[in-house]
Amino acid sequence: MKWALVGFLTVATALLVAYAWLQSGGLKQHAMFSSATPEEAVHALMSEIQAHNYQQAYASLDRSSDTDLASFIRDVAGSDGSLRTYSSLQTAEVSPLHANGDQALVRVRMNWSSAVGSLDDVRDLRVLRDGPVWRVVWPKPAFSKVPLQVVSVNYLSWDVIGRNTSQKWGAQDVDTPKVRITSMNAISRPGRVVILGEVENEDTVPAYLNVTATLLKADGSAIDEEGSFDLISHVLLPKQVSPYRIDFPGVRMDAVKSVRMDARALLVPASADPVIAVMDQKVSKDGLNRNVLEGELVNQSGRPVNIAQVLAAYYDNSGKVIWVSDGYVDQALMPQVSVPFAVDIPDDIAERMKSYRVIVNHYSRSSS
Amino acid sequence: MQRTAHHDFARCKRLAAFVLLCVLPAWARAAEVHVPAVVEAGQAFSIPVQGSGQATFYLVGPDHVVKRTVSLGSDLQIQSSDVRTAGRYQVILCDASSSCTSATFEVKAAQPAHLSFFLHPSRVPVSTRDSIDAAAFVFDQYFNLILTPAAVDFRITPASGAGFSREVSTRRGVAWMRMDSTPHEGRVQVTAALDNVEEARVIQQVAAEACGLRMKAVASGSMVTLETDPVRDCSGNALPDGTVVSFTKVDKAGKSTVDTPIKKGIARVQFGVDGRAQISVACGVVLGNEVVVNGKL
């Protein structure tokens, strides 16, 4: 009788522990960390990256991976204050492309969350069988090395001396920069109305610019007012032109009678440095068969640019702006180093567009 | 509670003063007061008062009230500090029998002593029609707006070239003019002057849109260096350093663009060229020339 009670308690405890393990996602976790198939191996690797266990992730790689731990961490976690360093891996979608008995090719679509929205990183990874498990071969990241050099930077910068509050009425003041909306186009997109176009700083001083649009009904009352937020280059140097896009979610085009535009500019200190070249731009398809505008950014100055945002305006045959899209680059732009970028183009826009123009917004930790 | 009572008391005082000032002129039956019709602001003067005994004197101006006890039969002195603000004043004199008399007079602004000068804008492109607005408000030493017409002289002194002036008469205290910007960039000083009073402002005339934008290409191996001629507007003024010039190259590799600022008057950029390349240049909305590079020039 006594032993029967002990046996019952032992079995009950084991059952409860097993139930708790299942409830806490143990089964799923086991599947994620096991590497019995190529997909499971990639899932396991992604789980380690998601948990910031970079050493364990690196240890799980196949030995044929031609990368060291520091390069691997730099590749997945970012460096130099880039956007990737402020991001975390949210999801990883894994899909097999090809497999045989000993090796497989697996596509992983990593979705990183950041302060500026989600960023996709699609990679095709080779996975090799290593006895009973599969291991990912991590390709050697191609980090460009810049030879040591001195880059002279002597571009103009502008400072502003503000008005003294003790000055009397009528004392001279400095005007705000003169900016002009050079084009405006209202288009209907699924579930929203979009206002887009271009704006130019016509002045000889830099401008901090914001464009707002108000949609008006037939009776003149406002439907909604929105600003361009980050779909514009806010700081415009003299004679610089920026595209802008303003989204009005939930508004139908047939409800809009007219649009009131407002471009407000402030005089701000600014620097003409850095110059970022946008090289080898072309429209192509990405790994997910989406239309993208891709190219390379080259920071021509001597200081790193931590976060870069690409803004692209697309024009039809008549030169009218028909779409504006943007994309953040998750790598820092080191001096003189090419960094690839790609921004999405909706399918219908890709069919109609005749030309495009790209500008780059940049943010540097040490910049003014 | 104490605060409320204090406010109520102050309100009662103001109401009583108002009633007094409204009602007293209606009783104006006694000795007559002779005041000058017009007095200059800040100018002391006297009012002869006949009779004998004591009386209460009130001076009600646009921004203050004076009350004092005076002796009848002598001149009543009005201090300069009591009539500094231009406008309509009322004098009320009440004798011991509560018989009151009143008179009104006008205080007009004194001689011009201050100019408030507005010059707009602070920056203006050269050779732009009706682009400069100047407005001068004429005040006396007590900052009363002088409503009588006066001739304000606007003297324009460009950085280069001869200066000129334009005389404008004030209307209701304001003189204004509108003028074109001159064809040359640089500081333009505009001075508003009236008698011995002067107020100067400065406008910066800046280059207008680029004109005849041209670049030349110098090939070196697979690289090509593009350099603009000095970037100038149609009047020959150099666009300021920092102005952005856009270079666009289209070749087999795709399209490449560089927005580069003008430095020492010119913009320069270097591209790698892959076969035949078409390169264009623009500054703002102004397009420049195009060059075609076939790998070699």
Each residue's pLDDT expressed in tens, for chain A with a length of 368 residues: 677 888 888 888 888 887 776 666 555 555 555 678 899 999 999 999 999 999 999 999 998 888 899 999 999 999 889 999 999 999 999 999 988 888 999 999 999 999 888 888 889 999 999 888 899 999 988 887 777 888 777 778 888 877 666 666 667 778 899 999 999 999 999 999 999 999 999 999 999 999 999 999 999 999 999 999 899 999 999 999 999 999 999 999 999 999 999 999 999 999 988 999 999 999 999 877 889 999 999 998 888 899 999 999 999 999 999 999 999 999 999 988 999 999 999 999 999 999 999 999 998 876 44
User: What are A269-304's pLDDT values in tens digits?
Assistant: 999 889 999 999 999 998 778 899 999 999 988 888
- Measure the CA angle with vertex A33, ends A29 and A39; round to 5°: 110
Q: What's the pLDDT score for residue B285?
A: 86
Residue A278 half-sphere exposure toward CB, CA atoms < 13 A: 29
| Nearest CA distance, B89 vs chain A (angstrom) | 27
Least CB-CB distance to B260: which of A203, A275, A279? A275
Three-state DSSP state, B24: helix
Task: Kindly list the residues from chain B whose CB atom is less than 8 angstroms away from the CB atom of residue A275.
Answer: 258-261
Q: What's the pLDDT score for residue A223?
A: 95
Task: Kindly list the residues from chain A whose CB atom is less than 8 angstroms away from the CB atom of residue B118.
Answer: 170
Q: Which residue out of B204, B257, B271 would a mutagenesis test of the A interface target, given it has the greatest number of A Cβ atoms within 10 Å? A: B257
Contact yes or no for B239 and A239 at CB 8 A: yes
Other beta carbons less than 10 A from residue A9's beta carbon: 10
pTM of the model: 0.77
**Closest residue in chain B to residue A167, using alpha carbons only:** B116
Amino acid at B268: R
Residue B296 makes CB contacts below 8 A (sequence gap 6+) with: B219
User: How far apart are the C-alpha atoms of A54 and B249, rounded to whole Å?
Assistant: 42
- Tokens coding B117: 């000068």
Q: How far is CA A273 from CA A85, A270, A295, B2, B242, in A?
A: 24, 9, 21, 64, 9
Sheet strand arrangement including A133-137: A88-99, A103-114, A117-130, A133-137
**Closest residue in chain A to residue B284, using alpha carbons only:** A239
User: What are A3-25's pLDDT values in tens digits?
Assistant: 788 888 888 888 888 777 666 65
Please check whether residue B253 touches A, CB under 8 A: yes
- Measure the CA angle with vertex B279, ends B278 and B285; round to 5°: 130
* Helix H or strand E encompassing A115: none
User: How far apart are the C-alpha atoms of A122 and A6, rounded to whole Å?
Assistant: 55
Please check whether residue A53 touches B, CB under 8 A: no
Please check whether residue A240 touches B, CB under 8 A: yes
Q: What's the pLDDT score for residue B26?
A: 44
Please check whether residue B240 touches A, CB under 8 A: yes
User: How far apart are the C-alpha atoms of B256 and B272, rounded to whole Å?
Assistant: 10
Contact yes or no for A277 and B257 at CB 8 A: yes
Please check whether residue B281 touches A, CB under 8 A: no
Contact yes or no for B253 and A282 at CB 8 A: yes
Contact yes or no for B257 and A241 at CB 8 A: no
Please check whether residue A153 touches B, CB under 8 A: no
Question: Do residues A353 and A315 lie in contact, with contact meaning Cβ atoms separated by under 8 Å?
Answer: yes
Q: How far is CA A20 from CA A6, A14, B36, in A?
A: 21, 10, 105
Task: Kindly list the residues from chain A whose CB atom is less than 8 angstroms away from the CB atom of residue B241.
Answer: 156, 272
| Nearest CA distance, B269 vs chain A (angstrom) | 9
Q: Which residues of chain B have pLDDT under 50?
A: 1-7, 9-10, 12-13, 16-17, 19-29, 297
Question: Do residues B207 and A204 lie in contact, with contact meaning Cβ atoms separated by under 8 Å?
Answer: yes
User: What are A184-204's pLDDT values in tens digits?
Assistant: 999 999 999 999 999 999 999
Contact yes or no for B263 and A155 at CB 8 A: yes
- Please tell me what DSSP assigns to residue A316: -
Residue A361 half-sphere exposure toward CB, CA atoms < 13 A: 21
Contact yes or no for B254 and A203 at CB 8 A: no
Other beta carbons less than 10 A from residue B242's beta carbon: 22
